[in-house]
Amino acid sequence: MTHTFPASLRRSFLGLLLLLLGTSAAQAQQYYNVLKYGARNDSTKLSTEGIRKAIAAASKAGGGTVYFPAGKYRTGPIHLKSNITIDIDAGAILYFSDNFDDYLPMVPTRYEGIDITSFSPLFYAYKAENITIKGRGIIDGQGKKWWDFAEGKSRASQDSKWQQEFFRLNKDILKPDLPGVIERGFMRPPFIQPMYCKNVRIEGITIRNSPFWTVNPEFCDNVTVTGVTINNPKSPNTDGINPESCRNVHISDCHISVGDDCITIKSGKDRAGRQMNVPAENYTITNCTMLSGHGGVVIGSEMSGGVKKITISNCVFDGTDRGIRIKTARGRGGVVEDIRVDNVVMKNIREQIIVLDMQYANSQPEPVSERTPRFRNIHFSNITAEGNQAGLLNGLSEMPIENVTFSNLNLDAKQGFTVREARNVAFHNVQVNTQIGPAVRAENAQQLRLDGLRGQVPAGAPLVELGNVAEAFVYNCFPALGTDTFLKLKGADTRGIVLQNNYLKALKTPITKGEEVKQPVEVTATEVPAAPERR
């Protein structure tokens, strides 16, 4: 019997067959070996042009993987296009040129939240989609010459040809936006800077000796940085990962040791940042180790577009200057909100373990306006740490820090927490062991809750010191043996202090008050020493 298929079914089958054959052919041709396009892997000459040709060929075909087999390459900047993957194999090292002329012509880029035209970044993409840099190889920015010139160590003139070109291309930038920078006129390039891109992935590679910020996506959506190692020596502004005004950013399984901050989240600076008004939002940072660096994870100080919905979890910081640092200043504007930090271990922190500082630049109070920054809804939990100071919350008199919680913290520090100009701050099950001063000192704060606070403090120091604090609820506390004073109160504006369910029986002096403190302390369900018998 002969079966006859309908013509429409035959056409559909033929179309599917052609589609599968076309897909197989495309897959077979998707790798573009840079050696076939003129690149050299024996470090004898610059391979910039060969790499450019390989990228152009892949782009012309609709996309593909530009492949670097093992070897040593010398190159200038690499500009990526949509649907391009850079695959740097194990044993391959890309040494980027330290000849500044190789990074001309200058391109649109950004510096501290301001649009400028300057040297091309080493890896650069502008308004591209679906770009990837991956592999087990190494990329080396050879940054020392850039660092020395920027710091004036090797600069013969303050008016080099590169500075003249920068001045020519940036003459319309207003000096108030970049005080001191326009006059200097020499902006080092970031290592990897995609701008206005979608679907960016950086995976597996080792990056070292960046001239400036290392991974710096600008205004990108859906950025993933995973399994990356960044090693920069002690060097100026060589931050690790600095996304600015990006959405949906995922940073995981990275190892970072740099000359500045390990990871910094930014969203524009001052007036220019407020005009752009593009927040940094929807970030997850997890399973990372941070060694040397000014900060482990930092937000700001350029945050004028706002920073929101950020989680930081399962990380280890060892040897950074600060742990978690959120900073801003009057004039920035913007809101930092909905931040969660959980399950973090920090050791050998040289300054503060946790910092929320709204006075990064000294300035006088001013009326609340669009220039006024805000910090609110920030939460820390399950942290073990050792450092110089447990924490600093430093708000503005006209705009206190709001709604901050610390839960399940175990901290050893030379000094404890200082809370200043803040409202609705809570400590739950927190232990702070100090060498100097109290575990928690609060000044000019409102609505403070201390629940289950514990700690070893030096002789003569109170566990808690409150100055000009309104409405504090202190409960479920069990001071360590040897503590002299549980609570010290001072300041004429101190009022509404409530102690409940605390065990203070072993203390010599549970509470001390300055003469200026007029309101009594409400004490309920609290064990205190018996009053001495009168004779």
Domain with residue 95: its CATH number is 2.160.20.10
250 is an active site residue:
no
How far is residue 20's CA from residue 14's CA, in Å, rounded to a whole number? 10
Helices and strands: H and E segment counts in the chain: 6, 33
Other C-beta atoms closer than 10 Å to the C-beta of 419 total: 25
Q: How many CA atoms lie within 13 A of 69 on its CB side?
A: 11
φ, ψ for residue 28 (rounded to 5)? -70, -25
Structure tokens that stand for 457 in this block: 């403090």
3-state secondary structure of 47: coil
Q: Is residue 48 part of a domain?
A: yes
- Give the containing element (helix H, strand E) for 60: helix 48-60
Count of structural domains within the chain: 1
Report which residue type is found at 67: Y
3-state secondary structure of 227: coil
Is residue 400 within 8 Å of residue 427, measured between CB atoms? Answer: no
Q: Is residue 42 part of a domain?
A: yes
Q: Is residue 326 part of a domain?
A: no
Least Cα distance to 445 among 499, 392, 481 occurs for: 392
At residue 534, the pLDDT reads: 40
Q: Is residue 298 part of a domain?
A: no
At residue 167, the pLDDT reads: 86
Is residue 26 within 8 Å of residue 47, measured between CB atoms? Answer: no
At residue 158, the pLDDT reads: 65
**Which residues does residue 428 pair with via DSSP β-bridges, in sequence order?**
407, 451
3-state secondary structure of 509: strand
How far is residue 329's CA from residue 303's CA, in Å, rounded to a whole number? 10
CA distance readout (Å), 529 to 132, 503, 512: 67, 10, 14
Structure tokens that stand for 230 in this block: 């960044």
Handedness of CA 357, 360, 363, 366 (dihedral sign): negative
Structure tokens that stand for 297 in this block: 């994870």
CA distance readout (Å), 443 to 41, 355, 360, 386, 454: 62, 16, 18, 24, 20
Are β-strands 114-118 and 138-140 bridged in parallel, bridged antiparallel, or unpaired? unpaired
Structure tokens that stand for 495 in this block: 């009022």
Per-residue pLDDT tens digits of the chain, which is 535 residues long: 445 556 655 555 555 554 554 544 444 449 999 999 999 999 999 999 999 999 999 999 999 999 999 999 999 999 999 999 999 999 999 999 999 999 999 999 998 778 899 999 999 999 999 999 999 999 999 999 999 998 876 665 667 899 899 988 988 775 655 666 656 788 999 999 999 999 999 999 999 999 999 999 999 999 999 999 999 999 999 999 999 999 999 999 999 999 999 999 999 999 889 999 999 999 999 999 999 999 999 999 999 999 999 999 999 999 999 999 999 999 999 999 999 999 999 999 999 999 999 999 888 999 999 999 999 999 999 999 999 999 999 999 999 999 999 999 999 999 999 999 999 999 999 999 999 999 999 999 999 999 999 999 999 999 999 999 999 999 999 898 889 999 999 999 999 999 999 998 878 889 999 999 999 999 886 666 655 444 3
The DSSP secondary structure of 77-119, one letter per residue, reads -EE--TTEEEEE-TTEEEEE---GGGG-S-EEEEETTEEEEES
Handedness of CA 245, 246, 249, 251 (dihedral sign): negative
294 is an active site residue:
yes
3-state secondary structure of 513: strand
Q: Of these residues, 87, 260, 270, 412, which one is catalytic?
A: 260
Cβ neighbours for 521, distance < 8 A, ≥ 6 positions apart:
487, 489, 497, 498, 499, 511, 513
CA distance readout (Å), 178 to 116, 172, 205, 227, 256: 10, 12, 33, 35, 29
How far is residue 295's CA from residue 350's CA, in Å, rounded to a whole number? 10
φ, ψ for residue 15 (rounded to 5)? -65, -40
Q: Is residue 159 part of a domain?
A: yes
Angle at 187 between CA 271 and CA 305, to 5 degrees: 25
Q: Is 57 buried (19+), middle (13-18) or exposed (0-12) by CB count in 10 A?
A: middle
Least Cα distance to 309 among 347, 338, 279, 271 occurs for: 338
How far is residue 170's CA from residue 196's CA, in Å, rounded to a whole number? 20
**Which residues does residue 255 pair with via DSSP β-bridges, in sequence order?**
229, 289
Q: Of these residues, 79, 239, 294, 321, which one is catalytic?
A: 294
Q: Is residue 10 part of a domain?
A: no
Q: Give the tens place of pLDDT for each residue, 74-125.
A: 999 999 999 999 999 999 999 999 999 999 999 999 987 788 999 999 999 9
Q: Is residue 483 part of a domain?
A: no
At residue 533, the pLDDT reads: 40
Other C-beta atoms closer than 10 Å to the C-beta of 421 total: 19
3-state secondary structure of 477: coil
Report which residue type is found at 146: W
Q: Is residue 93 part of a domain?
A: yes
pTM for this predicted structure: 0.92
Domain hosting residue 135, numbered range: 29-206
Is residue 415 within 8 Å of residue 440, measured between CB atoms? Answer: no
At residue 351, the pLDDT reads: 98
Is residue 69 within 8 Å of residue 35, measured between CB atoms? Answer: yes
